[in-house]
Amino acid sequence: MAQIAVKDGIHTIGCTPHIYPGMYENTTRGIRSAVAAFQAELDQRAIALRLVEGADVYLEPDLVSGIDAGRVPTLAGSRYLLLEPPHHVAPPRFEESVFQLTLAGYVPVITHPERLTWLPDHYRMFSRLVKSGTWMQITAGSVTGRFGRQPRYWSERMLDDGIVHILATDSHHPTRRPPLLAEARHAAAIRVGAREAEHLVVTRPRGIVNDSAPSELPPLPNSKSALKANGGFWKSLARGTQFATSDGRRT
């Protein structure tokens, strides 16, 4: 998987195993140790990939205290926390719980909202969360259709509505869930333009690793003004296609 990622143009990967009390009992110490051991192996094999620690965290009542105590890791030790909602059931008081993380000084990054089966009935809530400081991370394979029609529809709608901060691989396997990002960047560029596509896969992820404040990073594009500035959807589409075909260097 590391070799596939490097070939695709990826140079930094966040290692984010699940933390789910009672099922995935990972901690910062264990994750950090595993990341260091894997980094040493990559360095020995001359695979030019940098690893940073993190976790795909489920909501729990004492999550804030777990982060403060160092038991639950943030992304690369930053203020950004990868947060995974349940796939099939909307958790009670989810919006309030996420907002509490924001009040505690963290930036929740919700993973793959486009793949949640309950997203259609709660789409406005996710838009409100974005306005209140929560980030959205959609999966590269959703944009390219690897996860089917519904995730692709919702990922495209979220991109069109200007509520996506990051594209990520969410890679689990070299063939079933490969670490590919370039094809999704090109697909996203068709909808939001080359500059915003770069922000999705380079600028904002780099800002997370550097623990930059959200205010220091490019703001999300306003959907209506972005389309007007780009000359409408079809001109944006043409520009995105040119970007996808003319940029031979994978990034």
Q: Of all residues in the chain, what percent carry a pLDDT higher than 70?
A: 88
DSSP H or E segment with residue 223: helix 223-229
* CATH code at position 217: 3.20.20.140
Residue 251 located in a structural domain: no
DSSP 231: T
Residue 149 located in a structural domain: yes
How far is 177 from 18, CA to CA, in rounded Å? 16
Q: Count of domains in the chain? A: 1
Encode pLDDT of 101-126 as tens digits: 999 999 999 999 999 999 999 999 99
* Residue 165: predicted pLDDT: 98
**Which residues span the domain enclosing 147?**
2-246
Encode pLDDT of 39-70 as tens digits: 999 999 999 999 999 999 999 989 999 999 99
Encode pLDDT of 203-241 as tens digits: 999 999 999 999 999 999 975 434 444 444 434 443 333
Is the pLDDT reported for residue 178 higher than 80?
Answer: yes
**By C-alpha distance, which of 83, 80, 79 is closest to 116?**
83
Query: pTM of the predicted model, to two decimals?
Result: 0.88
Residue 177 located in a structural domain: yes
* Residue 249: predicted pLDDT: 35
Residues 6+ apart with CB under 8 A from 78: 208, 209, 210, 211
